[in-house]
Amino acid sequence: MKKSIYFHIDEYNRDSIVAASLYKKLSSNFNFCFGNRIDEGNLKKLDSFDIYIFPTVERLESAFGEPKNCKGKIFILPNESISGSLKVKRRLELHLTGSIYNSKLKKKWLDRINMFFLWGNSHLKVLKNYSKKISKKCLIVGHPRHDRVCYKKTKIKNQKFSVGMVSRFDVLNIFDDRLNFENIYNGWMDQFQFKYLFDTKSNVEHQWFNAVLDFRFFLDLIRLLNKKKIVPEIRPHPRENRNNWLKFKEKFNLNIKISKFDESFVDWLNRKDLIISSASTSLYDCILRDKKVIVIDKLSKEREKHGNIFLDDFDPVIKYFKRPKSLKELEKILFKNNKAKMSKSLKKLLYNEVNFPNHINSIEKITNFIVKNESSEEEFSLVKLIKQVIFKLLGFSEVGSIFSIGFIRQKVIKNSLQDN
């Protein structure tokens, strides 16, 4: 009987391409199953997989509670381009090790993890500083969404100049059932001890100021692009409510498109001639796909004052892009060559963060490790097989930006790269 793998898809249009590529490489040796946050409640009840691949320790703890409830081997494969630079490395440390309040429980989970598949050398340095013991359970693989197996062979050529706008308004437009009151309360509690520029006190209103400012500029840009007969396509952040964008578009008759829920971010990038974005980790994706990019973080002098030192506002990648200081300046460079220049310093940054240029073999490194160490078959277990089938059947379709992975979507993901 083949061993089984559970892969946790935290954000569908970002993580499903990695799930599909791993399935393509490993399906001959392993049985595969995908799940997400909605499925977490069933994992503890139906713990029947030999290998679990999760993006964070938080998601593990949310699914199983305690390590003793998870019988299989555990691999961590991060799904965010969080920089390990000096200013923001504390956020990366929390992302890799988890922010579980109970220190004993956190240690138990970290001891229980069998391997971290890290994106780059800076991530390994952060874990070494945290724990030399944990750092020995690490393998640098690169940026998994940019393995060559994830790139589809066909590329759609646009008849007109195509502009994509990367939306990041998860503070204003929350994907789940949380109230804005709750979002403000969590920021007020400041559990991550965020630090804002020019302000010794960490006030939650800073992030709201910048979110509203960026949204207002989005409206300015939509109007500017429409005057040039361009219909921009909005790419909602995975933590945004996509349905709210659709309602907003219809109510105010906005001349925009909203990207498809099921389309991977890489495929969406490939369809665009220009990407307009605020501070975002998506800028790493843009560089790796050699896209023209304009970043809007300098359109207001006030924005930097409210920037969070530990988040994307000060990610070192941002300085390699065109950052106009006014809408008039942005309009002048709209049709220019706005690609980041691949300088020596940028190559070094990409090597540290995403293992550039070896990132194109990320999936291969992961699969080689798993096949080498875990591919031996086990005794047939009817109970385990039945539990796995039940788990797949418990899913249901997308509900707004909250989704689960049922039998049909499992099949769609598995088949998405079969023609490559």
**DSSP string of 309-378, one letter each residue:** TTSGGG-GGGGGSB--SSHHHHHHHTTS--BPP--HHHHHHHHHHH-TTGGGGHHHHHHHHHHHHH----
The CA distance from 45 to 222, in Å, is 48
Give the domain range for residue 22: 3-143+355-415
Is 206 in a helix, a strand, or coil? helix
pLDDT at 159 over 60: yes
- Reported as a pLDDT band with limits 50, 70 and 90, residue 327 is very high
Average pLDDT, the chain: 87
Residue 102: Cβ-neighbour burial (10 angstroms; 0-12, 13-18, 19+)? exposed
pLDDT above 90: percentage of residues in the chain? 55
Q: What is the sign, positive or negative, of the torsion defined by CA atoms of 15, 16, 17, 18?
A: positive
Only one residue has tokens 């800076």, namely 122
Helix 407-415 vs helix 12-26: crossing angle, to nearest 10: 70
Return the structure tokens found at 31: 């049985």
- Reported as a pLDDT band with limits 50, 70 and 90, residue 324 is very high
Q: Are residues 183 and 309 in the same domain?
A: yes
Question: At 241, which CATH number?
Answer: 3.40.50
Q: Are residues 318 and 381 in the same domain?
A: no
Return the structure tokens found at 152: 């589809």
**Domain boundary, last residue among 353, 378, 394:** 353
CA nearest neighbour of 187 among 54, 174, 86: 174
Q: Are residues 208 and 349 in the same domain?
A: yes
Highest mean pLDDT of the ranges 188-197, 253-262, 380-389: 253-262
Is the separation of the CB atoms in 215 and 209 below 8 Å? no
Q: Are residues 116 and 173 in the same domain?
A: no
pLDDT at 379 over 80: no
Give the pLDDT mean for 307-326.
Answer: 89
Q: Are residues 342 and 359 in the same domain?
A: no
Q: Is 157 within a domain?
A: no
Q: Are residues 15 and 78 in the same domain?
A: yes
Q: Are residues 302 and 364 in the same domain?
A: no
Q: Are residues 173 and 315 in the same domain?
A: yes
pLDDT digits (tens, 9 = 90+) for 179-198: 888 878 877 777 666 666 66
CA nearest neighbour of 269 among 413, 355, 163, 341: 163
Render 225-251 in DSSP notation, one character per residue: HHHTT---EEE--TTB-HHHHHHHHHH
Rounded to an integer, what is the distance from CA 296 to the centroid of its chain?
A: 21
Q: How many CB atoms lie within 10 A of CB 335?
A: 12
Q: Is 156 within a domain?
A: no
Q: Are residues 139 and 175 in the same domain?
A: no
Only one residue has tokens 């890290």, namely 118
Q: Are residues 279 and 372 in the same domain?
A: no
Q: Is 155 within a domain?
A: no
Is 285 in a helix, a strand, or coil? helix
Bridge partners of 73, per DSSP, are: 51
pLDDT at 224 over 80: yes
**Between 47 and 175, the higher pLDDT residue:** 175
Between 86-100, 168-182, 215-229, the lowest mean confidence (pLDDT) is in 86-100
Domain count, the chain: 2
pLDDT digits (tens, 9 = 90+) for 343-361: 999 999 999 999 999 999 9
**Domain boundary, last residue among 302, 336, 353:** 353
Is the separation of the CB atoms in 109 and 143 below 8 Å? no
**Between 68 and 405, the higher pLDDT residue:** 68
Is the separation of the CB atoms in 363 and 145 below 8 Å? no
Give the pLDDT mean for 2-23.
Answer: 89
pLDDT digits (tens, 9 = 90+) for 88-122: 677 788 888 988 888 899 999 999 999 999 999 99
Q: Are residues 205 and 311 in the same domain?
A: yes
- pLDDT recorded at residue 151: 83
